[in-house]
């Protein structure tokens, strides 16, 4: 399948322009200066207009034709929400259904039609029947994210949790803000509804946003992009050894986090620079002491979406223990399938749903929380194992990597991979592990100690660190081709 997270779309031969990503010279030195110049020269009362127009231009940079889809979904949802708001009580449910079916229908066609036809053809071919001729559909970038925004907005208006937007420009700007349009975080309308009408602009806020953007940029380019060739090399080996398979699994675990969390940090930073406060999306997930805690820390906006609009709607934990386990499993399987039209994501959803159900069963049976020293490595191991099938192109590839991790092809590193590992990749993997572990050290960190002079030195280093890391990232970006985000065209 095409354009799935964990697969670089450039390797899959997709159409589209990878310069639309944040980690590119075109974005840094062309789009951003133009955007900020136009935005801050526009009177405040009209500043949602440049957000809307230039965000649409940013989206059209990839594929002009799919801008019509974004605009159509935006207009459709805006109109349905107005009708839902004005409808009599008996008709409200009907308008909600229309809105949900319209949005989810678009998502189903563009994201799952290829998967459905491919699966149907495989069954027909196995039974000896002729297959259906089908031209693969290109997946528009950001579709999964802006459809979820539409779904959350319609449900919140239906529940009267948020006032309906009477301004199309405000609502369309919310949908199109370029910083979160491609890969989130999943921002609900209620979270920025007031700021769409009135928001603070200050040099301090702009500076804090710039610092956050630079940090995310460095996470993406310095760490994630450096590890990308190593991950690709491991998964390309026909018979990797255990050392190679585990190295690839660990490298992908770090690559995915620093790529996606880096994007989220850039999105949040860019939003701060124009006065918006987006919700956090990651909170040191690899330091979680249980699988439940992991999902409270990883892609938090998606976790809350699944909880509030799917798990609770299915009944949550209000209908007995068995139904709770079923709801957990169903929620994660659907969440896995939302990640991509591939059986690998369904298996990944079953894996995490089963782990969450097992965790709840353990606690319901009287088992207390595991000591952190035990819970942390067990949780991390479970997450790493799950990322293997998440990254694999198909189930057969995942099984091949799992068998290799179990020692089927020997244990030591072979020449097939060792010559491809660059020294900087080993150092970056170590750096990634250290950065993931640092927040868990708490009071052991030097900047948490006295005396005040030491705190000052570390504070100064903390302040200039993002700038230095950003400069290093720019140099690295100049020396190699731009690498699309793992969630690009998602």
Q: Average of pLDDT values for 124-131?
A: 87
Same domain, 214 and 190: no
User: CB within 8 A of 109, min separation 6: which ones?
Assistant: 137
For residue 3, tell me if it sits in a domain.
Answer: no
Q: Using one digit for the tens of pLDDT, what is the confidence trace for 393-427?
A: 999 999 999 999 999 999 998 888 888 888 888 88
Same-domain status, 109 and 178: yes
pTM of the model: 0.90
User: What share of the chain has pLDDT > 70, as a percent?
Assistant: 90
Residue for token pair 């190295």: 247
Strand, helix or coil at 140? coil
- Does the pLDDT value for residue 9 go beyond 80? no
Q: What is the pLDDT averaged over residues 435-460? A: 67
At residue 276, the 3 state secondary structure works out as coil
Torsion of CA 406, 410, 414, 417, to 10 degrees: -20
Mean pLDDT confidence for 287-307: 95
In a domain, 217, yes or no: yes
**Within-domain flag for 161:** yes
- Domain's final residue, options 201, 233, 268: 201
If asked whether residues 188 and 238 sit together in one domain, one would say no
Q: Contact at 8 Å (CB) between 231 and 317?
A: no
Residues 191 and 237 in one domain: no
Which single residue is written with the structure tokens 């000591």? 371
For residues 3 and 490, is the Cβ–Cβ distance under 8 A? yes
C-beta separation of 149 from 243 below 8 A: no
pLDDT in tens, 347-383: 999 999 999 999 999 988 888 888 999 999 999 999 9
Name the region of 202 (left: φ>0; alpha: ψ -120 to 50; beta: rest). Answer: beta
Q: How far apart are the first and last CA of the chain?
A: 12
Q: Residue range 165-171: average pLDDT?
A: 96
d(C-alpha 365, C-alpha 374), whole Å: 19
Q: In whole angstroms, what is the distance from residue 324 CA to residue 317 CA?
A: 5
Peptide bond connecting 428 to the previous residue in cis, omega within 30 degrees of 0: no
Residue 489 belongs to some domain of the structure: no
Rounded CA separation 115/98 (Å): 25
Is 186:156 a contact under the CB 8 Å cutoff?
A: no
Give residue-wise pLDDT tens across range 15-58: 444 445 677 788 888 999 999 999 999 999 899 999 999 999 99
| Burial profile 379-404: b = 16 or more Cβ within 10 angstroms, e = fewer | bbebbbbbbbbbbbeeeebbebbbeb
Residue 197 placed within a domain: yes
Among the candidates 174, 201, 228, a domain finishes at: 201
Q: Which residues contact 309 (CB under 8 A, 6 or more apart)?
A: 151, 152, 155
Range 407-420 burial, b when 16+ CB lie within 10 A, else e: eebeeeeeebbeee
Q: Tokens for 108, please give them.
A: 């189903």
How far, in Å, CA of 68 to CA of 149, rounded? 17
For the chain, give the mean pLDDT.
88
Task: List helix spans (H) across 343-451.
Answer: 343-364, 372-391, 395-405, 415-418, 423-437
Which is the catalytic residue, given 339, 352, 359, 396?
339
Vertex 300, ends 297 and 189: CA angle to 5°?
155
Q: Kindly state whether residues 157 and 174 are assigned to the same domain.
A: yes
Q: Are residues 182 and 224 in the same domain?
A: no
The answer to the question of residue 5 being in a domain is no
- 3-class DSSP state for residue 132? coil
* Domain closes at, from 201, 232, 257: 201
Task: Give the separation between CA 234 and CA 416, rounded to whole angstroms.
Answer: 9
How many Å apart are CA 210 and CA 269, to the nearest integer?
A: 6
- Its domain, for residue 152, covers 18-201
Q: Kindly report, residue by residue over 454-477, the tens digit of the pLDDT.
A: 566 666 666 788 888 888 888 888
Looking up tokens 């956090």, which residue turns up?
Answer: 280
Question: Do residues 139 and 270 both lie within one domain?
Answer: no
- How many structural domains compose the chain? 2
Torsion region of 275: left, alpha or beta (phi above 0 gives left; psi -120 to 50 gives alpha): left
Both 239 and 175 in one domain: the answer is: no
Residues 212, 379: Cα–Cα separation, whole Å = 28
Backbone dihedral region of 40: left (phi > 0), alpha (psi from -120 to 50 degrees) or beta?
A: alpha
Q: What contacts 24+ positions apart, CB below 8 Å, involve 232-236?
A: 232/8, 232/11, 233/417, 233/420, 233/421, 234/401, 234/417, 235/391, 235/392, 235/393, 235/397, 235/401
Residues 82-97: what's their mean pLDDT? 94
Q: Are residues 302 and 441 in the same domain?
A: yes
Question: Is 339 known to be catalytic?
Answer: yes
Greater confidence (489 vs 159) lies with 159
Claim to verify: residue 197 and residue 256 sit in the same structural domain: no
290 in any annotated domain: yes
pLDDT tens digit string along 54-66?
999 998 887 888 8
Q: Same domain, yes or no, for 164 and 82?
A: yes
**Residue 154 corresponds to which tokens in the numbers above?**
């319609």
Taking the C-alpha atoms of residue 292 and residue 299, their distance in angstroms, rounded to an integer, is 13
In a domain, 4, yes or no: no
90 and 228 both lie in a single domain: no
Which of 178-182, 239-243, 420-424, 443-447 shows the lowest per-residue confidence on average (mean pLDDT)?
443-447
- Who wins on pLDDT, 100 or 417? 100
């Amino acid at each position: 399948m095409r354009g799935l997270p964990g697969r670089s779309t450039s390797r899959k031969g997709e159409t589209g322009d990878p310069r639309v990503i944040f980690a590119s010279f075109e974005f840094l030195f062309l789009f951003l200066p133009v955007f900020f110049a136009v935005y801050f020269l526009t009177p405040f009362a009209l500043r949602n207009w440049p957000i809307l127009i230039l965000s649409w231009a940013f989206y059209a940079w990839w594929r002009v034709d799919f801008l019509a889809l974004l605009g159509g979904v935006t207009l459709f949802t805006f109109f349905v929400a107005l009708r839902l708001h004005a409808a009599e009580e008996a008709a409200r449910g009907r308008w909600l259904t229309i809105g949900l079916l319209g949005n989810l229908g678009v998502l189903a066609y563009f994201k799952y039609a290829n998967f459905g036809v491919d699966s149907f053809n495989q069954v027909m071919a196995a039974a000896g029947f002729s297959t259906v001729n089908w031209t693969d559909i290109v997946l528009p970038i950001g579709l999964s994210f802006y459809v979820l925004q539409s779904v959350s907005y319609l449900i919140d208006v239906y529940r009267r949790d948020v006032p309906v937007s009477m301004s199309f420009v405000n609502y369309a700007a919310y949908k199109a803000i370029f910083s979160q349009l491609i890969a989130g975080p999943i921002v609900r309308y209620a979270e920025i509804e007031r700021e769409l009408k009135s928001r603070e602009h200050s040099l301090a806020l702009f500076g804090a946003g710039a610092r956050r953007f630079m940090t995310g940029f460095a996470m993406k380019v310095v760490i994630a992009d450096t590890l990308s060739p190593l991950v690709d090399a491991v998964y390309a080996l026909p018979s990797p050894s255990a050392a190679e398979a585990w190295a690839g699994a660990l490298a992908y675990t770090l690559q995915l986090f620093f790529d996606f969390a880096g994007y989220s940090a850039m999105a949040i930073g860019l939003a701060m620079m124009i006065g918006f406060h987006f919700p956090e999306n990651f909170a040191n997930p690899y330091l979680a002491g249980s699988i439940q805690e992991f999902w409270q820390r990883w892609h938090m906006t998606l976790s809350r979406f699944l909880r509030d609009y799917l798990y609770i709607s299915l009944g949550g934990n209000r209908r007995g223990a068995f139904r709770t386990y079923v709801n957990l499993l169903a929620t994660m399987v659907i969440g896995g399938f939302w990640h991509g039209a591939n059986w690998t994501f369904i298996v990944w959803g079953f894996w995490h749903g089963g782990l969450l159900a097992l965790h709840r069963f353990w606690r319901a049976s009287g088992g207390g929380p595991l000591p952190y020293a035990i819970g942390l490595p067990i949780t991390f191991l479970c997450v790493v194992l799950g990322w293997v099938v998440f990254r694999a192109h198909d189930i057969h590839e995942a099984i091949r990597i799992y068998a290799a991790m179990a020692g089927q092809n020997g244990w030591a590193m072979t020449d097939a991979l060792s010559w491809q590992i660059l020294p900087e990749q080993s150092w970056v993997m170590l750096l990634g592990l250290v950065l993931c572990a640092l927040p868990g050290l708490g009071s052991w960190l030097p900047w948490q100690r006295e005396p005040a002079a030491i705190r000052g030195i570390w504070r100064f280093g903390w302040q200039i660190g993002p700038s230095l890391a950003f400069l290093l990232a720019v140099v690295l970006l100049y020396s190699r081709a731009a690498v699309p985000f793992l969630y690009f065209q998602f």
